[in-house]
Structure 1
Amino acid sequence: MDKIYSKGCKIEETLKILGNKWTFLIIKNLMGDKLRFNELLHLLNGISPKTLTERLRSLEKEAIITRKIYPEIPPKVEYKLTPKGDDLKIILDTLNQWGKKYI
């Protein structure tokens, strides 16, 4: 096992990006949808605006989501998954199947 998951392990590197609380729930809610900040805030019961902002910025930095700003008053901002973010669907599906089986 040590040889497979040794230094430079891709699982460890991936969890550095996706392993924070709320990250997978943000991604799950963006699957197939564009959502505004307040819509995400409402869907993620218990997350603070500050934490949501931090997670969205991190996901944008990693090119997992995009942020589109519309020049309106008040400003309208939409978030959506990139193709890189869409590729996480298989992981979410697997987590869902595991949860159905064991929880």
Structure 2
Amino acid sequence: MRDKTAAAIAVCSVETTVSVIGGCWKLTIIQELLDRTLRYGELRRAVGEVTDRVLTRQLRELEEDGLVHREVYPEVPPRVEYSLTPMGETLRSLVRDMDEWGQTWVAAQRVLA
């Protein structure tokens, strides 16, 4: 567990959740991994305009927090795959609900414009 996550636990469970999944691109990464296991390059293309540095950092944090599993295969060239852990899978309904809320909000903004 990262220090930032441990500190959030002392505040409240919502802060803990935000600390764990609220990083730049983390929810997008999780959403992509809900569908299937992905290699790094596939994940980078699926996520979009993210730099290698940021994607690597976010994947490491998700791995440290127990949400993402990184599998390294002893091949040449090296093959690395990312998937959600059982704890990461528990975010499925939360991510789905956030996606639905986002679509509703965007539609409401169009009506107001």
* TM-score relative to the length of structure 2: 0.82
> What's the CA shift for 1:63?
0.8
- Alpha-carbon distance in 1 for matches of 2:59, 2:42: 13
- Identical residues among aligned pairs (%): 35
Gap runs ≥5 in structure 2: 1-9, 107-113
Secondary structure of 1:29's aligned partner: helix
Structure 2 residue 91 is the aligned partner of structure 1 residue 88:
yes
- Alpha-carbon distance in 2 for matches of 1:89, 1:53: 22
**Alignment map for 1:62-101 (pairs within 5 Å):** 62-101=65-104
* TM-score relative to the length of structure 1: 0.89
Secondary structure of 2:101's aligned partner: helix
Q: Give the helix-richer structure, 1 or 2.
A: 2
> What's the CA shift for 1:101?
1.8
Name the residue aligned to 2:41. 38
Structure 2 residue 21 is the aligned partner of structure 1 residue 13:
no
Structure 2 residue 53 is the aligned partner of structure 1 residue 50:
yes
Write the letter of the residue equivalent to 1:34: T
Write the letter of the residue equivalent to 1:36: R
CA RMSD between the two structures: 1.1
> What's the CA shift for 1:43?
1.0
Name the residue aligned to 1:4. none
> What's the CA shift for 1:102?
1.9
Write the letter of the residue equivalent to 1:101: T
Q: Could you list the structure 1 runs, at least 4 aligned residues long, displaced by more than 4 angstroms after superposition.
A: none
- Alpha-carbon distance in 2 for matches of 1:50, 1:92: 24
